[in-house]
Amino acid sequence: MKPADSIQDLQYFGEFGGINPSISDASTYTFLSAKTMFDTFEGNADGCYLYSRHSSPSNLYLGEALAAMEGTETSNVSASGMGAITSVIMQLCSAGDHVVSSRTIYGGTYAFLKNFAPKLNIKTSFVDITSLKAIEAAITKNSKILYCEAVSNPLLEVANIAALSKIAKKHKLQLVVDNTFSPLSISPKKLGANIVIHSLTKFINGASDAIGGVVCGSQECIDDLRNVNDGAAMLLGATMDSLRAASILKNLRTLHIRIKQHSANALYLAQKFESLGLKTVYPGLVSHPSHHVFKAQMNAEFGFGGMLTVDVGSLKNANTLMELMQSKNLGYLAVSLGFYKTLFSAPGTSTSSEISEEEQKIMGLSEGLIRFSVGLDNDIERTYKAMFKCMQSVGVV
Ligand code: PLP
């Protein structure tokens, strides 16, 4: 089943026949018998709700749609992408365990693994995720997780998920893939990932009005996360609010249309920027070192995604250009992604600033790098022409 069709086929009605499901406006739920309440605590009363930090009807509707999209048995939505990521890592790892992670990942995830997890005696080796040899070499007897982003933030490295899955299986690791940059375009579970995570804050919600996250996985994995005795989602408490779950579900239904437009616009700009001689990184360009990997594992109709980077030589150039483009209303100088307007930022001083300058250099994150989340512009040629003028006036082309 294709991922967008799976979302389309879900059918929910509201309490009074509404064509959207009713929003569960309650933190707690009554029981007709005390025994059912006890059974629900014990996890033996399917279909009963207990308390909304555990689960709520609205969160389950959104979770079911996201699980359908990713092809997993089920999912658990959370208050943020970081709420999803940290709960999975803490659920799967105990003190003394080890994570093998891609070294180019979102700065917050990097900071968690590098600075916070060691407080719990969970250690991480950061590796070049495109080097299967480096990954194998980093695995120890204590390794529990192989962690990566399908398309990495901000360098747009592409993970070969089928190959990673083979390594994970061989060493009995859980392959955890953050698919925030490539929803619909890549289906990590179908390629062998055990757990798929999203920051819903980005393309999936697409309105830049909410923070949210999801963990998609097996029923057993999600039951573990929600367990009242030792579940990280239940006990750490990064729960999504029902009102928000309802609004994100409504936006999710147009994701397939938006992703196609984001991808088409990003491909257009990437090809133009590259032809100007700018160092441009976009997985849809043949010059991208992992273009063939993305192509082999993609759901072709959704394209190569809405994210691209260009290197304009220096931080000063990057800042001047971004300010100028914003003043011409070509997009906003803002972090995050997936909005209808183009968003641009210099990751070295923003979303990846948790990574030290030295480490940024090693991973190839240069100070003149601008990350673009390309918007839904109806006339991308017009946008390009105006961006070109800005680039000329800053002197980068
Ligand atoms: N994963 C990726 C790839 C991200 O870019 C981000 C945020 O920028 C996150 C996870 C964290 O998500 P959130 O901000 O919703 O906690």
Delimit the domains of the chain by residue range: 3-252, 258-394
Residues of the chain with pLDDT under 70: none
Ligand 1 centre from 174 Cα, in Å? 20
Distance 107 CA to ligand 1 centre (A): 9
Nearest C-alpha neighbor of 77 from the set 186, 205, 208, 264? 205
Q: Alpha-carbon distance 366 to 357, whole Å?
A: 9
Asked whether the beta carbons of 270 and 308 are under 8 A apart, the reply is: yes
The CATH code belonging to domain 3-252 is: 3.40.640.10
Predicted pLDDT of residue 150: 98
Contact 102, 149 (CB under 8 A): yes
Ligand 1 lined by 211 (C-beta under 6 Å): yes
Asked if residue 81 has its Cβ within 6 Å of ligand 1, the reply is yes
What pLDDT sits at residue 363? 85
Protein fold of 258-394: Aspartate Aminotransferase, domain 1 (3.90.1150)
Q: How far is Cα 206 from Cα 337, in angstroms, rounded to an integer?
A: 8
155 alpha-carbon distance from chain centroid:
14
Q: Report residue 148: phi and psi, to 5°.
A: -160, 170
| Residue 188, ligand 1, Cβ within 6 A | no
Determine if ligand 1 sits within 6 Å of the CB of residue 178.
yes
Ligand 1 pocket test, pick from 201, 214, 337, 373 with the greatest ligand atom count within 8 Å of Cβ, gives 201
Contact in structure between 48 and 36 (CB atoms under 8 Å): yes
Position in ligand 1 atom list of the atom nearest CA 201: 15
Tokens of 4: 């967008």
Whether 78 is in the pocket of ligand 1, judged by its Cβ within 6 Å, is no
The CA-atom distances, in angstroms, between 237 and each of 51, 176, 278, 386, 391 are 12, 21, 45, 46, 46
> How many whole angstroms from 159 Cα to the centroid of ligand 1?
17
Asked if residue 234 has its Cβ within 6 Å of ligand 1, the reply is no
The alpha carbon of 66 and the centre of ligand 1 are apart by a number of angstroms equal to: 17
Residue 65, sorted as left (phi over 0), alpha (psi -120 to 50) or beta, turns out to be: alpha
Q: Does the CB atom of residue 82 touch ligand 1 within 6 A?
A: yes
pTM over 0.95: yes
Q: Facing residues of 101 across strands?
A: 126, 147
